Amino acid sequence: IERYPHLYGGDSRVHACMLELGVGLSHEPGFHQFDVRGNALGILTSHSTRPLVSLHHMTHIDPIFPNSTTFSAVSHLFSAVELDPLRIFQVSVCYDRWHSWTISVSWGYAVQIETRHLFLRDVLRTQKTFRPWKNSGGLASVYTFNTRDVHPDPCQRPVTFFMEHVSSSPSDGTIKSVYKQAYQNCTYDPISSPRKIEEVRVFSTRLDPDIRQLKAPRRQCCDILPTSSNGGKVLEIRIRECKEDEFIYIHP
């Protein structure tokens, strides 16, 4: 602290001390150092394939679930963490060819449906739903990850469903997570728009990777399950391990 009073924040000072010790830094994608403000939805829905390690600066961002306080939102998140800690925030993407939808599941947190087909690399780019930590300086809005802009009109953005509750079946170990739509006051086509969906149900099993998967984590695949009831108001998805040579892409 005495040698580096000019550095901003504890992170810079710790880094300076590590350099003096001659110790290198290990990059761990599971850390979320929230040096941003506002809505962290874009960051949390583009989490890496590494397990979540920690969330920082939670009091400087909006509560991660709507109509919640920061404390209650984190407590709600942990209802999913307790059932499947290694899967939390893990992203699976599947495509609805019939409606031309791109569906992204950030497990235990949110499901987003785009009304168009997006390549996987574009889906995984972080949506810039947040604000810079500091507004001054030329590098204020420069990040260490690729971003994509969000539409200024909320009705033109992906339809978002937030986790409502998670349960586990003792008979077969199936974990069911339910996501409810965060409604916007938007007009939409009741036939083709995903806004007609009220609830998304995601079925999975507890993520328990072996040594091979820990060394080289692989994103899991998802399938849209056929549903004939509920008037199209419920969408069901199954998350599974991808097959040996399976690719995640828009099938013609």
- Do 96 and 173 share a domain, yes or no? yes
Each residue's pLDDT tens digit, 41-50: 999 999 988 8
Structural domain tally of the chain?
A: 2
User: Does any domain span residue 247?
Assistant: no
Please check the confidence at residue 27 and state whether its pLDDT lies above 70.
no
Say whether both 110 and 134 belong to one domain.
Answer: yes
Burial 113-138 (b: 16+ CB within 10 A, else e): bbbeebebeebbebbbbbebeeeeee
The verdict on residue 245 lying in a domain is no
Whether residue 221 sits in one domain with residue 194: yes
Query: Residue 101 burial by CB count (10 A; 0-12/13-18/19+): exposed, middle or buried?
Result: buried
Is residue 121 a part of any domain in this protein? Answer: yes
Q: What mean pLDDT is predicted for residues 12-40?
A: 77
What is the domain range of residue 16? 1-29
Same domain, 99 and 212: yes
Q: Report helix, strand or coil for 53.
A: coil
Q: Is the pLDDT confidence value at 250 over 80?
A: yes
Phi, psi (degrees; rounded to nearest 5) at 95: -120, 135
Contact 133, 37 (CB under 8 A): yes
Residues 22 and 48 in one domain: no
- Looking at the structure, tell me whether residues 10 and 124 fall in a common domain: no
Task: Please provide the distance, in angstroms rounded to a whole number, between the alpha carbons at the two ends of the chain.
Answer: 59
Is residue 44 domain-resident? Answer: yes
pLDDT digits (tens, 9 = 90+) for 171-220: 999 999 999 999 889 999 988 999 999 999 999 999 887 766 777 788 99
Q: What is the pTM assigned to this prediction?
A: 0.87
The string over 49-66, giving b where at least 16 C-beta atoms fall within 10 Å of a residue's C-beta and e elsewhere, is: ebbbeebeebeebbbbbe
Separation of alpha carbons 108 and 48, rounded Å:
14
**Same domain for 2 and 39?**
no
Residues 175 and 60 placed together within one structural domain of the fold: yes
The total of other beta-carbon atoms located within 10 Å of residue 190's CB is 9
Domain contains 55: yes
Mean pLDDT of 88-112: 96
What does the block give as tokens for 208? 């328990």
pLDDT score of 142 more than 80: no
* Placement of tokens 């235990």 in the chain: 108
Mean residue pLDDT across the chain:
89
Task: For CA atoms 76, 80, 85, 89, give the dihedral sign.
Answer: negative
The verdict on 174 and 51 lying in the same domain is yes
pLDDT, residue 85, reads 94
- pLDDT of 135 > 90? The answer is no
Q: Compute the CA torsion angle 8, 136, 129, 26 (nearest 10 deg).
A: -30
Weakest mean pLDDT among 29-33, 165-169, 193-197: 29-33
Sign of the torsion formed by the C-alpha atoms of 247, 234, 48 and 147: positive
> Contact, 128 vs 42, CB < 8 A?
yes
For the segment 148-152, the average pLDDT, to the nearest whole number, is 94
DSSP string, 2-52: -S-TTS-HHHHHHHHHHHHHTPPP---TTEE---EEE--HHHHTT--SSPP
**Percent of the chain whose pLDDT exceeds 90:** 62
pLDDT, position 144: 75
CB 32 within 8 A of CB 43: yes
Instruction: Provide the total of helices (H) and of strands (E) in the chain, helices listed first.
Output: 5, 14
Q: Is residue 49 part of a domain?
A: yes
Q: Looking at residue 45, what is its pLDDT? A: 96
Residues 117 and 235 grouped into a single domain: yes
Asked if residue 1 has pLDDT above 80, the reply is no
Q: Are residues 18 and 80 in the same domain?
A: no
